[in-house]
């Protein structure tokens, strides 16, 4: 199954992003078999970081949550919330 994972950041812990970025990127690379795509979300009005988005292939939502909670960003307080949604792809131009 394919899932979209939406992360909302807590601006009170924004300093954690730079501190843990290298470990976060290494985690994404190490889990590339499950994480098809990942990247930051930016508030279009202010230009400030707002969270992140992952596209994940996993057998179920519990496996996705386990992956999310293993991310070095997770225990830092940077992530205010996470939303895991199953996605059915019906179109791709690639």
pLDDT tens profile 42-71: 999 999 889 999 999 999 999 999 999 999
Q: What's the pLDDT at 90?
A: 94
Q: Judge whether 35 and 54 are in contact, CB under 8 Å.
A: yes
Q: What's the pLDDT at 73?
A: 96
pLDDT at 25 over 90: yes
Catalogue the E-assigned strands of the chain: 2-9, 35-42, 49-57, 79-87
Q: What's the pLDDT at 94?
A: 82
**Mean per-residue pLDDT over the chain, rounded:** 96
Q: Please report the domains of the chain, with CATH numbers, ordered by start residue.
A: 2-87 (3.30.70.1060)
What is the mean predicted confidence (pLDDT) over 15-37?
Answer: 97
């Amino acid at each position: 199954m394919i899932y979209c994972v939406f992360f909302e950041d807590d601006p009170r812990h924004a300093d954690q992003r730079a501190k843990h970025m290298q470990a976060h990127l290494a985690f994404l690379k190490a889990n590339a078999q499950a994480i098809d795509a990942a990247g930051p979300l930016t508030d279009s009005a202010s230009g400030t970081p707002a969270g992140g988005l992952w596209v994940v292939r996993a057998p179920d939502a519990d496996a996705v949550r386990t992956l999310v909670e293993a991310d070095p960003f997770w225990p830092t307080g940077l992530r205010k919330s996470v939303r895991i949604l199953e996605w059915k792809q019906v179109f791709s131009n690639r």
